[in-house]
Amino acid sequence: MELIRGLHNLRPRHRGHVVTIGNFDGVHVGHQAILSRLRESAARAGLPSCVVIFEPQPREFFAGREAPPRLSRLRDKLALLKAAGVDRVLCLSFNQRLRELTAEAFVQRILVEGLGVTHLQVGDDFRFGCDRAGDFAFLQQAGSTLGFTVENTQTVELLGDRVSSTRIRSLLESGDFATAEALLDRPFVIAGRVLHGQKLGRTLGVPTANIQLKRLRAPLHGVYVVSVQHEGQVLAGVANIGERPSVAGDGQAHLEVHVLDYAGDLYGQYLPVRFHAKLRDEQKFAGLDALKAAIYADIDAARAYWQQYPLPCCV
């Protein structure tokens, strides 16, 4: 899969595409239905498929830190799009210039002149352009004038409701990992490199792997039963995502995992962490003894969970 960063990196050889546009946060089963139709249309047309995404996502541009948290970082999203058989991704910076583009200019400059679109696959509620003025009817009209076809993908519903990134975020927030996994068609995983922490965990008797979240604002907050994958093995653990109000922190959210019955060194490893159940909210404890007692109780709760359920075969 080829990643094209910005319109200015489009070359004449990039003209001629079957295209879809969206955030594709999480690449859930609704997105996968669109991508599968896109693949079919591209094969029929004998042209590469292209997904146009935005970075930051439009809502992040408008609302900043008030925007909903991400289900997937850009690198995860790209890996998922590649796995779905997408040939090219055009990643556009969502900035003031882009937000002011009218729907007409968006179609003309990006889809027609930039990508040489022959077919556009869109979702049921797709809207784009300044003030979201470009809807399906508009695109059909533009397509008939500018020479491309437009197809609407039927709404994908699961367990009685439309699948959406928003719904998955709220399932994760409420700790309903089983339903979130069904809508994603895979486990919910946050992966990152293990960094050195404040080394306080060891003095508490609970060593933790501090996973770098970088700019990711995770849709989870609190203490969870987790599993991690390390050197081909799945290991059981318990994790906290939060600002660690009981110790002087840096105000940023951290993901810290205590792997049960593990004494090795995880520094520098890229660790995928899969979430299974929420144990409690993060709390501000009066002192380290109270924090330590709570963490020991979390470890007991995680052990009880793993006695009841088998470890997954992979993360």
Ligand X SMILES: Nc1ncnc2c1ncn2[C@@H]1O[C@H](COP(=O)(O)OP(=O)(O)OP(=O)(O)O)[C@@H](O)[C@H]1O
Ligand Y SMILES: Cc1cc2nc3c(=O)[nH]c(=O)nc-3n(C[C@H](O)[C@H](O)[C@H](O)COP(=O)(O)O)c2cc1C
Q: Which residues bind ligand X (CB under 6 A)?
A: 22-25, 30-31, 33-34, 122-126, 153, 155-156, 162-166
Alpha carbon distance 22, 53 (integer Å): 6
Q: How many residues bind ligand Y (CB under 6 A)?
A: 23
Binding test (CB under 6 A) with ligand Y, winner from 79, 158, 247, 260: 247
Q: Minimum Å distance from CB 301 to ligand Y?
A: 9
Residue 58 interacts, among ligand X, ligand Y, none and using kind-specific CB cut-offs from 5 to 8 Å, with none
The pair of structure tokens assigned to 123 is: 């979702």
Q: Which residues pair with 211 in a beta bridge?
A: 194, 255
276 binds ligand Y (CB under 6 A): no
Residue 72 interacts, among ligand X, ligand Y, none and using kind-specific CB cut-offs from 5 to 8 Å, with none
Sequence-separated (6 or more) residues with CB below 8 Å from residue 295: 204, 206, 258
Q: How far is CA 13 from CA 20, 48, 109, in A?
A: 19, 11, 16
The pair of structure tokens assigned to 72 is: 């997937």
Q: Minimum Å distance from CB 220 to ligand Y?
A: 13
Binding test (CB under 6 A) with ligand Y, winner from 35, 111, 163, 295: 295
Query: Which parts of the chain are beta strand (E)?
Result: 2-5, 17-21, 49-55, 88-93, 117-122, 149-152, 157-158, 161-162, 189-195, 209-211, 222-230, 233-242, 254-259, 270-280
Q: Minimum Å distance from CB 191 to ligand Y?
A: 18
Evaluated on CA atoms 244, 250, 254, 260, the torsion sign reads negative
Q: Minimum Å distance from CB 273 to ligand Y?
A: 12
Cβ-based nearer residue to ligand Y, 77 or 276? 276
Alpha carbon distance 252, 55 (integer Å): 22
Cβ-based nearer residue to ligand Y, 87 or 256? 256
Please, which of residues 187-246 interact with ligand Y by CB under 6 A?
A: 197-201, 206, 208, 210, 223, 238, 240, 244-246
Cβ-based nearer residue to ligand Y, 142 or 223? 223
Q: Minimum Å distance from CB 73 to ligand Y?
A: 22
Cβ-based nearer residue to ligand Y, 158 or 260? 260
Q: How far is CA 261 from CA 237, 253, 264, 270, in A?
A: 9, 25, 10, 20
Nearest residue to the partner ligand X, using Cβ: 123
Cβ-based nearer residue to ligand X, 20 or 240? 20
Q: Minimum Å distance from CB 205 to ligand X?
A: 42
The pair of structure tokens assigned to 29 is: 């089963």
Instruction: Classify residue 110 by its DSSP letter.
Output: I
Interface contacts to ligand Y, rule CB under 6 A: 197-201, 206, 208, 210, 223, 238, 240, 244-247, 256, 258, 282-283, 291, 294-295, 298
